[in-house]
Chains A and B, each alone.
Chain A
Amino acid sequence: MFKHIFIAQTKLFFRNKESILWNLLFPFAMVTLYYVAFHNIADTENFKIDPVPVAVEKTDQTIEGMPFRQFLESEGESHTMDGDQILYDTETNKNLVPILVDRPAGEKLVESGKVDGMITYEKGKPISYVLGPRDIENYRVIMVKAMMDYYQQRENTVTRIINEAVDRRIPISNDQVSQMISTLNGKDYLMTLKTPVSNVSKYTVFYLAILAYICIAAVAKGIDVVGNVEAVYSPVSMRAAISPTSKRLRFIAVMVASLVMAVLLNLLTFGYMLLLKMPVGDSYGAIVGIVVLGTFVGFFMGTAVGSLLPGKMTLKNGLGIILPLAMGFMSGMMSVEVKYAIDTHLPVVQKFNPLNAIVEGLNALRFYETMEIYSHNMVYLGGLLVAFIALTMIGLRRADYESL
């Protein structure tokens, strides 16, 4: 009988258009969506920062020939004005587009959003950078500030050396000063260690989260299996219930058929991700292991929800969609910042999120040389699996129906 139900269930899978849509098309559509969405940022090495247009207020320091003016001219990209439009080469390697204007015109440019902010440098005062309304933690702000800091700190150093030389009556020529500074050009003090994490973008979490989501999305299949077995949910399951086959055997047969399909499809999806060269890692054996275990956890979470939760099948089906999405949301599937916020402020919630355990396991494979964190997450997922199987067994045994 097991064989009969198993074969029938497998045939049903391929004959049911809805099931084909959900099981085959859905994971591939999700992966494709992520692939296309992060097309630009998959490779951070090639990501280019556009030059930042800023207004520079005309002061005594910006007069032709002054060092600050020279600095702006050498480090900044030139521009032309077409009416009120600022035109410049966006492909340039320079980071700044300085637009020399008087204060009212500069304020107008900032207010109209045509420039990021306005730089003012007057003798005896530090450089100030007044920003338009934008995210002040933004890299564009950091970049402009770093350039201005660099200039005034360097100016301070050189002025000090010259003053010391004058005070101590030590002759130093302009050439010697230039040489002191020019020897620094291109010197790189830092060597980034080639740890795997430094080679990938933090946006990789998106890819890991989508793989984990696809595993946990098996919740819906688990709920379906309960719907097929419990007599109360459909005329088909009611007919099956009066057949001379025990519920346990029917459940096991339907469950095995469904689970085998889920695992195969998720592995196929993983293969598709590799085909698209998504950076999910290269420890293929370990990834396959966590994908299989994750699918089991998702599936049996579904059977537990389906068998224990009272209510109609439509509600449970709704949960089958919502639960993985909610867990994915907390694990960085939609926003890495949300994952970090939950990790920091609500670590207890994250501890009970199996999708996050899969993400951490996958991330650990990319990060660590050892398998410790990965194994820890696998054990945790294994524990959850046992718990969900036990809950399913409790939920399925001896259900009484007032009427069918």
Chain B
Amino acid sequence: MRVFKLYFQIVRSQLSVIFIYVGIFSLIAFIFGSNIKSMPDEAYTPKKLDVAVYNEDRGGAVAEGLHRYIGTRFNLVDIPDDKKSLDDALFYERINFALRIPKGFSERFEKPSELPISIEKTQGMQENMLVDIEVTKYLDTWQIYNNARNVSADLFAQEDVEEMIGEDLAKETTLKVFGSQKEILNGIGAKTYTSYMIYLLMSTVLSIICMTMLILNDKDTRAREMVAGFTDGRRYLELLLANVVFGIIIWGILIAVGMISFGASAFLGEKGLMLLGSSFIHLLAMISMALLISTIFQQTSAIEFIRVIWPLFIAFSSGIFIPMEFVWKPLQTAASFFPAYWQVVADEAILKLPKGSPKLIEILTKSFSIELVMMVAFFLLSLAIRRYRLKGENS
């Protein structure tokens, strides 16, 4: 097993690369993992956004009521009313948005087009939706009661309106999830982790396999070993074994980090185990792809170029860094020619579909088969190219 040992000696010289990647990844996994672990196993409670409200219409019934209502729906944060403080709070995300209720708003409320509430907010689809919904809901309801009082002022007293609105808006849709919320959060945690692992595995396993194979594929090194009695076939088998062992070691370390960060239960439940299986199949396909890349590209600079660009391309096109619905369709099509895309498809199905459902089995069979076919295809292609190269060298 001399070549096998030599392989790991070369890998040892690149340990710093692995440490930096795994270190940063672990740090981030701990942060996300602790967030998920701290969530209760209860029905859904919406996240409260942080907001600054500047009510310039002090004493106005509508303005005061809206201010108090906003306080019940969001976390009110006290930010001094000057442009710099407000800009800083928005820039550093101490608040998600700021509302300014102008002077005279309550008085002229029936003609709101003349005097709208101004709002300054950071970007974020959810945040924008929530603030628009809450403010509009409150003022719309106030408007209905106003209209009703216009029909007959005897219906109710003006001073009761705020309380009535509070009671009306307290009626909310209850949100529940099928099964245990904790279980679902565990599934989401494990799925997010294994998705990000694709990028990390590419940046470590793929790049180190490529670099190591590049060194070991050197013509002189090979010639020396053949003189020492190593046949090319045996040498290649040992290298193959070393690549797989190396890949599995890194994969195992990353899974251990995931289990510490998100809790072992996230990976040892039914969905967790399926996600691990999916990730493992992708690992094998990726090792095969690394072999192909290292066979095609024989220059260090080309490998270095690929080790940076390739994982990013895969991560952005396969829906790892941004949700799949945001990915440009032609880019998705391009990504579907590589195994990572199919791991993401399989993981999505594992998360969303019930265990044993025909749809899940169909998607998993399709995705895993494609990944395995790709693995075999990459391997055979690398063998063919290698054989062609060797023939060229020998003739």
Q: Are A195 and B120 in contact (CB under 8 A)?
A: yes
* Contact of A193 with B119 in the complex, beta carbons under 8 Å: yes
Residues of B with C-beta under 8 A to A131: 44, 175-178
A129 within 8 A of B: yes
Contact of A325 among B119, B172, B301, B308 (CB under 8 A): B308
Chain B interface SS verdict (over half): helix
Say yes or no: A191 contacts B91, CB within 8 Å. no
Instruction: Check if B144 sits within 8 Å of A180, measured CB to CB.
Output: yes
Contact B353 A129 (CB under 8 A): no
CB <8 Å contact, B301 and A149:
no
Find residues 153-184 in chain B having any chain A CB closer than 8 Å to their own CB.
154-156, 164, 167-169, 171-179, 181, 184
**A142-169 contact mask (Cβ, 8 Å, vs B): 1 or 0:** 1101101110111011101100110010
- 8 A Cβ contacts from A295-317 to B: 312, 314-315, 317
B315 touches which of A132, A187, A334, A373 (Cβ 8 Å): A334
A33-B316, A110-B178 are known contacts. Are A40 and B309 too (CB-CB below 8 A)? no
Given B120, B132, B168, which contacts A193 in the complex, CB threshold below 8 Å?
A: B120
Interface locus among A7-15, A62-70, A72-80, A336-344 = A336-344
| A188 part of interface (Cβ distance < 8 Å) | yes
Do B359 and A112 have beta carbons less than 8 Å apart? yes
A88 contacts B by Cβ under 8 Å: no
Q: Flag if A111 contacts B178 (CB, 8 Å).
A: yes
Known: A170-B154, A170-B155. A189 touches B136 (CB 8 A): yes
- Stretch binding the partner chain, chosen from B20-28, B235-243, B273-281: B20-28
Contact partner of A322 among B17, B305, B351, CB < 8 A? B17
- In the complex, are the beta carbons of A148 and B44 less than 8 A apart? no
B379 to chain A minimum Cβ distance, whole angstroms, is 27
Interface residue? B390 (CB, 8 A): no
Q: Mark B91-134, 1 if CB is under 8 A from A, else 0.
A: 11100000000000000000011001111111111100111110
Question: Do the beta carbons of B331 and A39 come within 8 Å of each other?
Answer: yes
- Interface segment among A17-25, A260-268, A280-288, A387-395: the answer is A17-25
Q: How many residues of chain A are within 8 Å of chain B by beta carbon? A: 107
Chain B residues with CB under 8 Å of A22's CB are: 301, 304-305
Give the residue name and chain of the A residue nearest to B208 (CB).
Answer: A318
Assuming the contacts A191-B116, A195-B120, asked whether A153 and B169 have C-beta atoms less than 8 A apart, the reply is yes
B16 A319 Cβ-Cβ under 8 A: yes
Task: Knowing A25-B305, A128-B173, A322-B17, say if A189 contacts B312 (CB, 8 Å).
Answer: no
> Number of B residues whose C-beta is below 8 Å from A?
100
The answer to whether B152 and A165 touch across the interface, beta carbons within 8 angstroms, is yes
Known: A37-B316, A314-B13. A321 touches B308 (CB 8 A): yes
Given contacts A131-B175, A187-B140, A197-B90, are A318 and B328 in contact (CB under 8 A)? Answer: no
Does A176 lie at the interface of the complex (its beta carbon under 8 Å from any beta carbon of B)?
Answer: yes
Asked if B373 is at the interface (CB within 8 A of a chain A CB), the reply is no
* Known A-B contacts A150-B137, A184-B143, A363-B91; A39 and B20 likewise in contact (beta carbons under 8 Å): no
User: Which residues in B have their C-beta under 8 angstroms from that of A101?
Assistant: none
Query: Hey, which chain B residues are within 8 Å of A29, CB to CB?
Result: 305, 309
Q: Mark B295-315, 1 if CB is under 8 A from A, else 0.
A: 000011110110111001101
A346 at the A/B interface (Cβ < 8 Å)?
Answer: yes
B25 to chain A, nearest CB (A): 9
Q: Chain A's nearest CB lies how many Å from the CB of B88?
A: 8
Known contacts A30-B309, A161-B144, then 15 further A-B pairs from the complex at CB < 8 Å, ordered by chain A residue? A26-B309, A33-B312, A37-B327, A38-B322, A136-B177, A142-B129, A153-B137, A161-B145, A165-B155, A172-B151, A184-B144, A187-B136, A200-B123, A321-B308, A334-B199
What 6 A-B pairs have minimum CB-CB distances, sorted nearest first?
A18-B301, A37-B316, A180-B147, A39-B328, A202-B123, A191-B116
A-B residue pairs in contact (CB < 8 Å), sample of 18: A29-B309, A33-B309, A112-B353, A113-B352, A126-B171, A126-B173, A129-B173, A135-B188, A161-B145, A184-B140, A190-B117, A195-B87, A195-B90, A197-B90, A197-B91, A198-B121, A326-B24, A372-B84
